Structure 1
Amino acid sequence: MTKEQERARARRRYQKVQRRNAQRALERARRMRVVAVVGTVLVVVGGLAFLGFRFGAGGGSATPSASTAATTAAGCQPPPSSLGTGAELELPDRKTAEGKTFVATLSTNCGDIEMTLDGAKAPQAVAAFLELARQNYWQSSPCHRLTASEALKVLQCGDPTGTGSGDPGFGYGVENAPKDGLYPRGTVAMARTQDTEKGTGGQFFLVYGDSTLPDPVGYTVVGTVTSGLDIVDRIAAAGIAPGGSSPTDGAPAAPISILTVAVTEKKA
């Protein structure tokens, strides 16, 4: 067996353990719930655009609310209850990711989404991603926003509070933003507040359709989805839950939550 095969085998074992632990956490959450409410409670954060994370200079604010009759998409399990916690973490050194490529697996209640993370082009963002995954920051965190306009087709995730205003306790600036404002299908980028120097934290968005974000600063492109984008397509096909800021912008009608995130370095 080659070293690459050994690493792949070890990675599969690690991801299997992570999924098993996530399933156990999901079962515990189900038992603890007194009332089985499917969906995510989303609150409006006054004065913040895009639930605290802004897309484009002219972007509006989303005000999604929970759907009491939320229905999971095909192939999905009911999502776990949000842990509802933030964090006070230290920003990791960008050198931990510089010049390296990583494979990240988002285990969700709808299946696995795998993506590559480019530490050569976005070292600070990738270093932060690695640390948040190591700290289990995203455990049982809902993807709180879906957009479905002609110009913007993204699913935003990464806030364990489910409100869109949570952060890991640190922030950093924009890096590796496309100058043309184009974010092709499959792009993984970091969301941010209006603070372009320290407004990027733990929230990110998955682009399921070619999108345009005409912001002069832009958003850090951290990687690319390599498998599982069909899961996002199914969530998008279910549409926006009632109560969003518009028919094309709000909480996804079919809830999806991150259970765990596993990251391994990809060797040349």
Structure 2
Amino acid sequence: MAPKNQSREARERLRLYQARKGLHERQRRRRVRDNLLGAGALVLVAALATGSQLVHATTQDGAGASATASSAPTPSATAGRTGTVPSKRIAEGATWTGSLTLNDDIRLGIELDGKAAPQAASVEIDLIRKRFYEGTTCHRLADSADFHFLQCGSANGNGSGDAGFRYGPLENVPEDGQYEKGTIAIARGSSPSSQTTQFFIVTGDTTLDPSTGGYTVVGRVTSGLPELVAKVTSKGIADPGQDGSGEPEVATTITGATIAQED
């Protein structure tokens, strides 16, 4: 018979092994879930688009918009920026309106909030003016319980690539993690300063875990969302990943974008 202290040591080793195993499994499940809305993000989202934001946003560092969102981070968290970020003064604290055309025949009316999200709105305005988005694809679709969005805006069309910069801070983040249908948010990676060019359009009320920091809400779709749902979202996902998101069955390309300050 083994000595009592040896038996206790064996039980303790088993307990620690089971605890580590449980922790690893929880981390694995969370990584899978966090791969979502936005640049991106919305973010991812590392499985989210290996490089992007959405809610899962797929950003350069491989994160994305995830299914969680917590209290908004401090607005001063700009550390980690890279490249030349468009000035936050572009938005002028005003409301901007315009359109986003997909596949030539889906026209979405959009509105950007330069007051609530001045930095993100300024970036989007600058990218639209420079016609950065025209010809890029919407590479990720999510359409499951409490998780509905279309992620767009990566330079390479697959969740990777950007315009040569990454920025923060996060702005106008829902503290309760609730992203209403029609919301436009910025996808990102794991860092608050990993926002780039990717964004996600929330096609149905979506819950994103606030504990990951959440996603910048930059604006909303004001018209055309039913058409997007009918022609893209409802057609399904070509090859769903573990989190249920993936490339849309209907290939979706941004074919036009306009923006102007509201009078």
Structure 1 Cα separation of the partners of residues 234 and 176 of structure 2? 28
TM-score, normalization by structure 2: 0.68
* Structure 2 equivalent of residue 193 of structure 1: 189
The aligned counterpart of 1:37 is: none
Quote the offset at 1:58 in angstroms. 7.3
Residue 155 of structure 1 contacts residue 232 of structure 1 at CA under 8 Å; is this kept in 2? no
Report % sequence identity.
38
The alignment status of 1:236 with 2:228, answered yes or no, reads no
- CA shift for structure 1 position 247: 8.0
For 1:178, which of 166, 174, 179 is the aligned residue?
174
Aligned counterpart for 1:251 among listed residues 237, 244, 247:
247
Residue 57 of structure 1: how far off its partner (Å): 6.7
Instruction: Map Cα deviations across residues 90-117 of structure 1 (whole Å, 9 max, x no partner).
Output: 3111011131110121122132111100
Can you list the C-alpha shifts for 1:236-256, whole angstroms capped at 9, x where unaligned? Answer: 1100003x3148310000111
Instruction: Name which of 150, 155, 161 aligns with 2:150.
Output: 155
Aligned length: 191
Structure 1 position 99 matched with structure 2 position 87: no
Q: CA deviation at 1:56?
A: 2.7
Note the residue ranges of structure 2 that are not aligned, 5 or more in a row: 1-44, 52-57, 59-63, 70-81
Partners of 1:56 and 1:215 within 8 A in 2: no
Could you tell me which amino acid in structure 2 is paired with residue 199 of structure 1? S
Counterpart of 1:55 in structure 2 is 65
Task: Tell whether the 8 Å contact from 2:166 to 2:196 is kept in structure 1 after alignment.
Answer: yes
Q: Given that residues 83 and 166 in structure 2 are in contact (C-alpha distance below 8 angstroms), is that contact kept between their aligned partners in structure 1?
A: no
Deviates more, 1:226-235 or 1:126-135: 226-235
Which whole-Å CA distance do the structure 1 matches of 2:106 and 2:235 have between them? Answer: 16
What is the DSSP-based 3-state SS (H/G/I as helix, E as strand, rest coil) of the residue aligned with 2:197? strand
SS for the counterpart of 1:116 is strand
Q: Which runs of 4+ in 1 moved over 3 A?
A: none
CA–CA distance in structure 1, aligned partners of residues 238 and 131 of structure 2: 28
Task: Tell me the amino acid that sits aligned with residue 256 of structure 2.
Answer: T
Evaluate the alpha carbon distance shift between residue 175 and residue 245 of structure 1 in structure 2; reply closer, same or farther with a 3 A threshold. same
Cα gap change, 1:127 to 1:220, in 2 (>3 Å)? same
- Work out the CA distance in 2 between the residues paired with 1:154 and 1:232: 11
Write out aligned runs for 1:61-76 (5 A): none
**Aligned partner of 2:116: which letter?**
K
* Aligned counterpart, 1:131: 126
Aligned partner of 1:224 in structure 2 is 220
**Equivalent AA in structure 2 for residue 162 of structure 1:** G
Distance 2:48 2:205 in 1: 19
Distance 1:55 1:108 in 2: 21
TM-score by length of 1: 0.67
